[in-house]
């Protein structure tokens, strides 16, 4: 009986020692660190110019969420875009029923809201407005191509600056204006932009889910916050630099 009790006590002490050893090993194990921010702004400038110069077109299925003071709306659709100024968005409802179509080719635009029957075709600058649930604007549609990196200004400087407490914070100066920027050291590209400074409409733009498509590192998710509108574009499929038929960008509306 005494022998059995002693054996049990020894096993308990041994188990406690093993558990203590494992606990100490976990506590003192080296922590996995993220990529170190490169202090040289030239690294980010080259990466951004490489992307903007080689990114010609995109197409894919996209999920969009729009939040405004009047409510929120989510929808899925097909998005086609080609540098420098061609855009086509098809929005679908239940059973793939068309809800909205928007086609931009240069300064000409055509859109139709199938729910209300409203439509417009003509110069972008003269567009009287968009449906409430699709709160676009001429300025946003021009800048959207830049947000997608498909019409990014060729003149570009990345300068030290920004919030000293924020890792990889820089200032980006380009033909679009001056932006506060936070860069991703893994891909050398922005994850956050705020600007242009001094303009009436200030964008806060986020880029995430970077991955390689057709030899280019591109984001699959974009967030845009301007005035009281927040928009999220999340690609479910994405083709880069694939041929897009010309007719996609002809600003003609379906009946």
Number of domains in the chain: 1
| Residue 7 included in any domain | no
Report if residue 238 sits inside a domain. Answer: yes
Does 16 reside within a domain? Answer: no
Contact 99, 91 (CB under 8 A): yes
Tens-digit pLDDT profile for the chain (255 aa)? 455 555 455 545 544 554 444 445 444 444 445 567 877 889 999 999 999 899 999 999 999 999 988 889 899 999 999 999 999 999 998 888 899 999 999 999 999 999 899 999 999 999 988 887 788 888 888 899 999 999 887 678 888 865 567 788 999 998 889 999 999 999 999 999 999 998 888 999 999 999 999 999 999 999 999 888 999 999 999 999 999 999 999 998 877
Report the CATH number at residue 228.
Answer: 2.50.20.10
Q: Which domain holds residue 50?
A: 41-249
How far apart are the C-alpha atoms of 156 and 150, rounded to whole Å? Answer: 15
Residue 14 lies in a domain: no
89-94 long-range contacts, Cβ below 8 Å, gap at least 24? 91/64, 91/134
Distance (Å, rounded) from C-alpha 190 to C-alpha 205?
9
Please check whether residue 196 is in contact with residue 202, taking contact to mean a CB–CB distance below 8 angstroms: yes
Q: From CA 181, how far away is CA 152, in angstroms rounded? A: 15
Is residue 108 included in any domain, yes or no? yes
Query: Looking at the domain assignment, is residue 1 inside a domain?
Result: no
Q: Please confirm whether the linkage preceding 6 is cis (ω < 30° from 0).
A: no
Query: CA 66 to CA 224: how far, in whole Å?
Result: 10
Residue 131, domain member (yes or no): yes
Measured between alpha carbons, how far is 197 from 199 in angstroms, rounded to an integer? 6
* Rounded-to-integer distance, Cα 33 and Cα 41, Å: 22
Bridge pairing between strands 108-113 and 119-123: antiparallel
């Amino acid at each position: 009986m005494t022998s059995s009790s002693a054996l049990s006590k020894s096993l308990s002490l041994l188990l406690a020692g093993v558990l203590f050893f494992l606990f100490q090993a976990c506590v003192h194990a080296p922590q996995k660190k993220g990529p170190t921010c490169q202090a040289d702004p030239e690294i980010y400038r080259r990466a951004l110019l490489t992307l903007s110069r080689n990114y010609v077109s995109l197409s894919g299925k996209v999920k969009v969420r729009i939040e405004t003071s009047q409510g929120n709306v989510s929808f899925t659709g097909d998005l086609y875009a080609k540098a420098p100024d061609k855009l086509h968005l098809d929005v679908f409802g239940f059973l793939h029923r068309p809800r909205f179509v928007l086609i931009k080719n240069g300064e000409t635009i055509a859109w139709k809201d199938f729910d209300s029957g409203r439509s417009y075709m003509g110069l972008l600058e003269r567009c009287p407005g968009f449906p409430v649930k699709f709160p676009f604007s001429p300025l946003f549609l021009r800048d959207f191509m830049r947000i997608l990196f498909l019409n990014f200004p060729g003149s570009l400087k990345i300068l030290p600056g920004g919030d000293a407490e924020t890792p990889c914070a820089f200032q980006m100066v380009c033909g679009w204006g001056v932006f506060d920027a936070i860069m991703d050291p893994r891909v050398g590209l922005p994850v956050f932009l705020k600007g242009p400074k001094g303009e009436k409409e200030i964008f806060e733009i986020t880029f995430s889910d970077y991955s390689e498509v057709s030899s280019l590192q591109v984001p699959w998710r974009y967030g845009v916050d301007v005035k009281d509108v927040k928009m999220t574009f999340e690609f479910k499929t994405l083709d880069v630099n694939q041929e897009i038929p010309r007719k996609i960008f002809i600003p003609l509306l379906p009946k």
